[in-house]
Amino acid sequence: MKETSRSETERVAGNGLLHRRMFLTGSAAAIGAGTIVDQAGAAPLAVEPWMRIPGAPFNAYGQPSKYEEKVARTWASAPGTGGTGSARTPHHLLNGMITPSGLHFERSHSGVPDIDPDKHRLLIHGLVKRPLVFTLDDLGRYPMQSRIAFVECAGNSGALFAKQPANANVQAIHGLLSCSEWTGIKLSVLLEEAGIDPAAKWVLAEGADAAGMSRSFPIEKALDDAMVCLYQNGERVRPSNGYPLRLLLPGFEGNMNVKWLRRIKLTAGPTMTKDETSKYTILLPSGKALQFVFPLEGKSIITHPSPGLTVRGPGFYEISGLAWSGYGKIAKVEVSADGGKSWGLAALQEPVLSKAVTRFRMAWQWDGGPAVLQSRATDETGYVQPSRAQLVALRGDRGNYHNNMIQSWAVAASGEVKNVYA
Amino acid sequence: MKETSRSETERVAGNGLLHRRMFLTGSAAAIGAGTIVDQAGAAPLAVEPWMRIPGAPFNAYGQPSKYEEKVARTWASAPGTGGTGSARTPHHLLNGMITPSGLHFERSHSGVPDIDPDKHRLLIHGLVKRPLVFTLDDLGRYPMQSRIAFVECAGNSGALFAKQPANANVQAIHGLLSCSEWTGIKLSVLLEEAGIDPAAKWVLAEGADAAGMSRSFPIEKALDDAMVCLYQNGERVRPSNGYPLRLLLPGFEGNMNVKWLRRIKLTAGPTMTKDETSKYTILLPSGKALQFVFPLEGKSIITHPSPGLTVRGPGFYEISGLAWSGYGKIAKVEVSADGGKSWGLAALQEPVLSKAVTRFRMAWQWDGGPAVLQSRATDETGYVQPSRAQLVALRGDRGNYHNNMIQSWAVAASGEVKNVYA
């Protein structure tokens, strides 16, 4: 009934996608989701039990409502371990750009170390003029900066390489991505303090976990936008994200953002640690592997609707999701409701920030028939997110890392949403 | 010793304030806070106990480190109540722009109601064509938007009206301010859905707490940037901030951002609720009171250093803090280290967003002598934050609300920091 009020000129792509102008103007009348009541009967509402008694007292550190317990990370750990594996962010239950710190994804190689901040040290050594050791108090003296940035595990979305589409939701497939406001010290400031030997071309970063997780990266990144972070979303970095110190290499694959950072060493070449030789290389169809592939390419996922969020009958819906690129800002996100046959431009939520997630939103008038929803990100370098066929042609389907192919969600006439290949 | 390496051309104001260029270039050599070690002795660092055993397992919802228990809200409640009063954000222990949701300030008039989201309803009625009732599922159908915005209690910083400076820290004086990413529906979208009667000029918003907290505001704000928020920092709004729904009136005094929102009524004039007549008016020296003063004026506070954060001897420090305005973006923040005799321009952390806090940073070479630190915000309308003398001349010192005077922190030769009037 409300359907008829939508002019055909609003439609920008097949299967009910509407112009993004409603997000720009803030006008979106005639969705009709509310229930009409008569003026006489409208007030008063029922006085619910929680209005009849004083509410809960103050507390020192708040938590989510008990009704939101389902909004939780899910995880898998290697046999015989409790903390070797990963825990995933429930993106289908979140909205906005910031991931709450309690739900930030976690990839750990030997659990979360219980670090006493007063005993923790950061050593900067190797090809420097003055090797330096810093306490946290020392680091607190340096000028800081803040940046909203995503961190994404190299293995995120690897499930989409499977020959048959897994019966899995956005958390299971894409939950190794999160976005926080990070605050800390530019690594370049600390390196200048130590004095960079001109022979230094690479940097080794090592964590204080039992795995001694360590990675090397070119010094150009250290001198560009690398940060030693003390704060995450305003407070000290959470233990599962590297308390009391983590490295942030904006846009680079997750494991390189070394958590529990204890050591930075300047070197002439890459260190070839176990974490960059035995894993985190990209296997090609030829049998050769790419090593040192650092930035994550342009990518997007639709979080609403997605599996588990059943569409409740024909009518208006917002399609929304996240887009990001390790190379800079998102330039545009296109959405399709017909499996890629036609595309419409989504609205991008401001502020659109470099190497941060951008929330996109698209208006959809669902006619109740089958639909296949897709999103396709383009970043400011002009890079376009590939289809599944394009990525498999390039990399084969035996890989695990850097999977940024377009995700397809099929919406059945029943409203059920499923992971499909299209 | 390091002091001599700082050119006099870097100095921009008295008592050691340095040019903000180090924040722009990311170069800040010669702070000298680290300890020099010799190359031979530098590695390996001690292998701490937490590196010798596997770390903690994954969990569903993470928490801060046990070593951060001091990072907590403090509160005061009316006699005989546990939740009638306010809880304050510890800004001296935070950094960045986002306030972690667990530390967001809280002002409640009768505690935090324990609301079952499945039973909660939002009614829109009064001067509308079709009164509507919405469930949370209904609201989930509407197009959403996200916005990073501050909320500040009208009574924040009221302690600075006291005739003598209180021996209090930034949390106690200024802790009724926080900043989150809010996601929800534009109120205008819901009002259009109900159909606005042309006679409607004001809006009443009512909460579902035992106090039935309610305020009225002009319909222009509803049609401008008002939002009905479902999400805070990515997850559902926290109970103490209005779960499952809160109104956001960006830039308007805190209590108007009605929590636990249950009812919106369009009216011809203000409703004159108890919450806008018995309180939240501004008493003038003449004995008259201003009513319906909505936006919070341009303001800033230095959070680092501040009382409790003792300065550890002469040398380099970052002075940092927060600036905000209910009228739009912050245009500039000036900092003084000599009690307002001279001012230098602080660096503003991007992104600078309208009606959000902006973190500012200033470089300071402390010579070890007494200093009085101040910050002064100017917003994009040209409004300049007043001195204490200016605000008292305008409003007297018997008021409690909308105190945005410049805060002065005295740094003693011992490094101790205190609240003073200067």
Check B50 against A145: CB less than 8 A apart: no
Contact residues on chain A for B236, CB-CB shorter than 8 A: 64-65, 68, 71
> Any CB–CB contact under 8 A between B136 and chain A?
no
Contact residues on chain A for B361, CB-CB shorter than 8 A: 143-145
One domain for residues B128 and B275: yes
Give mean pLDDT, residues A241-265.
98
Residues 6+ apart with CB under 8 A from A135: A118, A120, A121
Check B143 against A28: CB less than 8 A apart: yes
Residue of B nearest to A62 (CA): B102
pLDDT tens, B159-178? 999 999 999 999 999 999 99
Contact residues on chain B for A136, CB-CB shorter than 8 A: none
Instruction: Examine residue B2 and state whether it is found in any structural domain, yes or no.
Output: no
Instruction: Examine residue A161 and state whether it is found in any structural domain, yes or no.
Output: yes
Domain boundary among B261, B284, B307: B284
Tokens read off for A328: 């800079």
One domain for residues A135 and A276: yes
**Partner A, chain B 220-249, Cβ-Cβ below 8 Å:** 230-231, 233-236, 238-240, 243-244
One domain for residues B256 and B152: yes
Helix and strand totals (H; E) in chain B? 7, 27
> Any CB–CB contact under 8 A between A73 and chain B?
yes
Give the separation between CA A214 and CA A202, rounded to whole angstroms.
13
Domain boundary among B284, B313, B334: B284
Give the separation between CA A166 and CA B80, rounded to whole angstroms.
57
Q: What is the dihedral of CA B379, B382, B384, B390, to 10 degrees?
A: -140
Looking at B13-17, B24-28, B296-300, B365-369, which range is the least confident one?
B24-28
Residue B4 in this model has a pLDDT that exceeds 50: no
DSSP A155: T
Give the separation between CA B106 and CA A310, rounded to whole angstroms.
35
**Partner A, chain B 289-348, Cβ-Cβ below 8 Å:** 312, 315-318, 320
One domain for residues B272 and B181: yes
Distance spanning both ends of chain A, measured CA to CA: 32
**Nearest Cβ partner for A231 among B56, B58, B95:** B95
The secondary structure of chain A in percent helix, strand, coil, rounded to multiples of 5, reads 20, 35, 50
Instruction: Examine residue A41 and state whether it is found in any structural domain, yes or no.
Output: no
pLDDT tens, A132-161? 999 999 999 999 999 999 999 999 999 999
Residues 6+ apart with CB under 8 A from B65: A115, A117, A236, A238, A239, A243, A244
Give the separation between CA A228 and CA A185, rounded to whole angstroms.
5
Domain boundary among B237, B253, B284: B284
Do A167 and A173 form a contact (C-beta atoms < 8 A)? no
**Nearest Cβ partner for B100 among A35, A108, A233:** A233
Tokens read off for A110: 């030997």
Which pLDDT band, with edges at 50, 70 and 90, does B37 fall under? confident
Looking at A34-38, A55-59, A96-100, B135-139, which range is the least confident one?
A34-38
Whole-angstrom CA distances from A165 to A6, A9, A161, A198, B44 are: 35, 36, 9, 50, 47
Tokens read off for A178: 């999160």
pLDDT tens, B66-124? 999 999 999 999 999 999 999 999 999 999 999 999 999 999 999 999 999 999 999 99
Give mean pLDDT, residues B354-373.
97
Q: For residue B178, what are the β-bridge partners?
A: B151
What is residue A2's predicted lDDT score, i.e. its pLDDT? Answer: 42
**Beta-carbon contacts below 8 Å between A and B:** 430
Helix and strand totals (H; E) in chain A? 8, 27
CB atoms within 10 A of CB A77: 16
The answer, yes or no, to whether ipTM is higher than 0.90 is yes
What is residue A46's predicted lDDT score, i.e. its pLDDT? Answer: 87
What is residue B398's predicted lDDT score, i.e. its pLDDT? Answer: 83
Residue type for A189, please? V
Q: Look at residue A139 and give its three-state secondary structure.
A: helix
Closest CA of chain B from A27, distance in Å: 6
CATH number, residue A363 = 2.60.40.650
One domain for residues A278 and A308: no
| C-alpha angle B345-B350-B355 in degrees, rounded to nearest 5 | 90
% of chain B beyond a pLDDT of 70 = 95
Residue B8 in this model has a pLDDT that exceeds 70: no
Sign of CA dihedral B159, B164, B165, B167: negative
Check B82 against A35: CB less than 8 A apart: no
Ranges of H-type helices in A290-356: none
Which pLDDT band, with edges at 50, 70 and 90, does A421 fall under? very high
How would DSSP label each residue in A183-245?
EEEEHHHHHHHH-B-TT--EEEEEESSTT--EEEEEHHHHHHT-EEEEEETTEEPPGGGTTT-
Q: Where are the extended beta strands (E) located within A342-390?
A: 344-345, 347-348, 358-366, 371-379
CATH number, residue A223 = 3.90.420.10
Residue of A nearest to B313 (CA): A141
Check B349 against A55: CB less than 8 A apart: no
Do B397 and B364 form a contact (C-beta atoms < 8 A)? no
Tokens read off for B65: 């480190």
Instruction: Examine residue A213 and state whether it is found in any structural domain, yes or no.
Output: yes
One domain for residues B260 and B339: no
The pairing of strands A177-186 and B145-152 is unpaired
Give mean pLDDT, residues B278-288.
89
Which pLDDT band, with edges at 50, 70 and 90, does A1 fall under? very low
Domain boundaries, position B174 = 122-284
Residues 6+ apart with CB under 8 A from B41: none
Contact residues on chain B for A59, CB-CB shorter than 8 A: 73, 87, 240
DSSP A386: P
Residue A41 in this model has a pLDDT that exceeds 70: no
Do B336 and B376 form a contact (C-beta atoms < 8 A)? yes
Residue of A nearest to B137 (CA): A33
Sign of CA dihedral A291, A355, A397, A388: negative
Phi-psi region of B292 (alpha: psi -120 to 50; beta: other; left: phi over 0): left
pLDDT tens, B123-148? 999 999 999 999 999 999 999 999 99
**Partner A, chain B 33-62, Cβ-Cβ below 8 Å:** 33-39, 42-43, 45-46, 48, 50-62
Residue of B nearest to A27 (CA): B189
Phi/psi for A374 (5° steps) reads -140, 155
What is residue B1's predicted lDDT score, i.e. its pLDDT? Answer: 33
Residue in B27, B59, B182 to test binding to A, most A beta-carbons within 10 Å: B59
One domain for residues A167 and A281: yes
Contact residues on chain A for B61, CB-CB shorter than 8 A: 64, 71-73, 102-103
One domain for residues B258 and B126: yes
Give the separation between CA A349 and CA B130, rounded to whole angstroms.
31
Split into its structural domains, chain B has a count of 2
> Any CB–CB contact under 8 A between B265 and chain A?
yes
This model's pTM is above 0.95: yes
Which pLDDT band, with edges at 50, 70 and 90, does A4 fall under? very low
Which of A151, A324, A323 has the alpha carbon at shortest distance from A238? A151
CB atoms within 10 A of CB B266: 23
Which residue has better confidence, A175 or B397?
A175
One domain for residues A260 and A314: no
Give the separation between CA A275 and CA A211, rounded to whole angstroms.
10
One domain for residues A178 and A273: yes
Which pLDDT band, with edges at 50, 70 and 90, does B22 fall under? confident
Instruction: Examine residue B108 and state whether it is found in any structural domain, yes or no.
Output: no
Give mean pLDDT, residues B214-240.
98
Check A64 against B239: CB less than 8 A apart: yes
Give the separation between CA B255 and CA B155, rounded to whole angstroms.
10
**Partner A, chain B 382-401, Cβ-Cβ below 8 Å:** none
Give the separation between CA B211 and CA A193, rounded to whole angstroms.
57
Instruction: Examine residue A275 and state whether it is found in any structural domain, yes or no.
Output: yes
CB atoms within 10 A of CB A287: 8
Instruction: Examine residue A50 and state whether it is found in any structural domain, yes or no.
Output: no
Which pLDDT band, with edges at 50, 70 and 90, does A290 fall under? very high
One domain for residues A318 and A399: yes
Instruction: Examine residue A76 and state whether it is found in any structural domain, yes or no.
Output: no
Contact residues on chain B for A141, CB-CB shorter than 8 A: 31, 33, 315-318
One domain for residues A214 and A357: no
